[in-house]
């Protein structure tokens, strides 16, 4: 079984600054995906960024980037130029790679980090 741990229950940052959210995971799998989801007050789950474990290059999506350390089983999210709209709960999630059978495609989530961006 996989576990995902987010050790920062809450974080805050000033607008326009950079913040990093931490995530560690435990798995015996070699092929998997890692995700960061954003949940604003509307409660909608929004995919922010994904990383395939077989790729060494860190994923980047505009102001969002990750630092993926496979050996250390660490997957942090960096938000640059923080905006007020980034205020949300952020979840790190793990999914085994593969598309066949019933054992794939399940997401295992961390506990979440509440990020507040201050003006």
Partner 1 sequence: DAGITQSPRYKITETGRQVTLMCHQTWSHSYMFWYRQDLGHGLRLIYYSAAADITDKGEVPDGYVVSRSKTENFPLTLESATRSQTSVYFCASRQATTYEQYFGPGTRLTVT
Q: Can residue 28 be called a binding residue for partner 1 (CB under 8 A)?
A: no
Of 10-18, 55-63, 72-80, 102-110: span binding partner 1 (CB under 8 A): 102-110
Per the CB < 8 A criterion, the answer to whether 25 and 5 are in contact is yes
Shortest CB 109 distance to partner 1, Å:
4
Shortest CB 82 distance to partner 1, Å:
22
Per the CB < 8 A criterion, the answer to whether 62 and 4 are in contact is no
Per the CB < 8 A criterion, the answer to whether 95 and 33 are in contact is yes
Place of tokens 């789950």: 45
Q: Can residue 50 be called a binding residue for partner 1 (CB under 8 A)?
A: yes
Q: Can residue 23 be called a binding residue for partner 1 (CB under 8 A)?
A: no
Q: Can residue 22 be called a binding residue for partner 1 (CB under 8 A)?
A: no
> DSSP letters along 80-114, please?
-S--GGG-EEEEEEEEES-SSSTTSS--EE---EE
Select 14 or 60, whichever has its Cβ closest to partner 1.
60
Out of 28, 56, 57, 99, which residue is the one contacting partner 1 (CB under 8 A)?
99
Q: What are phi and psi of 85, to 5 degrees?
A: -70, -10
Site residues for partner 1 per CB under 8 A = 4, 6, 33, 43-45, 47, 50, 91, 95, 99-102, 105-112
């Amino acid at each position: 079984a996989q576990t995902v741990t987010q050790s920062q229950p809450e974080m805050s940052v000033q607008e326009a600054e950079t913040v990093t959210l931490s995530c560690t995971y435990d798995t015996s799998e070699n092929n998997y995906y890692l995700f960061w989801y954003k949940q604003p007050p509307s409660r909608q789950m929004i995919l922010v960024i994904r990383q395939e474990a077989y790729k060494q290059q860190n994923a980047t999506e505009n102001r969002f980037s990750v630092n993926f350390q496979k050996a250390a089983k660490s997957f942090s999210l960096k938000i640059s130029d923080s905006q007020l709209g980034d205020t949300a709960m952020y979840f790190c999630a793990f999914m085994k790679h593969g598309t066949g059978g019933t054992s794939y495609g399940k997401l295992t989530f961390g506990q979440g980090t509440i990020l507040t961006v201050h003006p």
